[in-house]
Amino acid sequence: MKRAMCVLALVLATGVSMPAISHESQSATIDDDALNHLVEEAMPAVYHISIRGRVMDTMTGAQKSGVENFGIGTGFGVTKNGLIMTKMHVVSPYFSKIASRISAPNTFEYVNGETIEVVISLITKAGATYTATIVGGSPNDVNDLALLRINNASGEFPILDLSDRPTRYDRVVTIGNPFNITYTVGEGIISTLERTVRGRRLIQTTAWRAPG
């Protein structure tokens, strides 16, 4: 049985991390023990993400609002020194509005003249809490990916093993925070790796997913 791997969330529009487990050459099923082991192995590397910040006027610097909660989502560890992969729409306050750029760490400038500096909070299922800084990705990138670094990271962090590649008809397990229902687990099957929608090549899966 292949080790757990991750189908990157760019194939979905959710930010939900998706560990997957592949068929044995002689078997196309996952027994309960294998499924439980997969989830237990992956869960420590999954983070609940929340975003809050203040809206400022870009030209004057005047504060236009108090602290606002801008949303929640999911990320997963990709390096032991604290790099976290998620979706840009998870950490961008107004994803429906086009941000002209990230002008400073965790600071989004919008074409409507607003600037929002966000605080990105991460929580593990075990209850450990961190803050993070965006170190990769663009709000205007069609791939919608963001790379975060845990602030003041020390020691080693759990990661999802990305060494395996998914294939058609693999079973996949989703772990995320849909509608802020934290650490929800779902299951499905990869139908194809080559589905094209609106010019984007996507992985099609029956695994349940929802915002968060």
Per-residue pLDDT of the chain (212 residues; tens, 9 = 90+): 333 333 333 333 333 334 444 333 333 445 778 888 889 999 999 999 999 998 888 888 888 877 888 889 999 999 999 999 999 989 988 766 666 789 889 999 988 888 999 999 999 999 999 999 999 998 888 888 999 999 998 989 999 887 778 888 888 888 999 888 899 998 899 998 888 888 778 888 888 777 76
Give me the torsion for CA of 204, 167, 78, 188, rounded to 10°.
50
Report the phi/psi class of residue 61: left, alpha or beta, with left for phi > 0 and alpha for psi in -120 to 50: left
Count Cα neighbours of 155 within 13 Å in the Cβ-side half-sphere: 2
Residues 6+ apart with CB under 8 A from 59: 113
pLDDT for 206 equals 86
Is the Cβ–Cβ distance between 164 and 2 less than 8 Å?
yes
pLDDT for 23 equals 37
Distances (CA, A) of 161 to 20, 21, 62, 78: 10, 11, 45, 8
Note the pTM of the prediction, 2 decimals: 0.80
pLDDT for 31 equals 73
Q: 34 phi and psi, to 5 degrees?
A: -65, -40
Residue 154: its H or E element: none
Q: Please state, in angstroms and rounded to a whole number, the distance separating the CA atoms of residues 5 and 148.
A: 20
Q: What are 52's two structure tokens?
A: 């809050």
Q: What are 113's two structure tokens?
A: 């003249």
pLDDT for 96 equals 63
Number of neighbouring beta carbons within 10 Å of residue 16 = 29
List, edge to edge, every strand of the sheet that includes 5-6.
5-6, 19-21, 171-176, 184-197, 200-205
User: Where would I find the beta strands (DSSP E) of the chain?
Assistant: 5-6, 19-21, 46-57, 68-77, 83-87, 99-104, 107-110, 114-124, 129-136, 145-150, 171-176, 184-197, 200-205
Distances (CA, A) of 160 to 27, 126, 197: 24, 16, 27
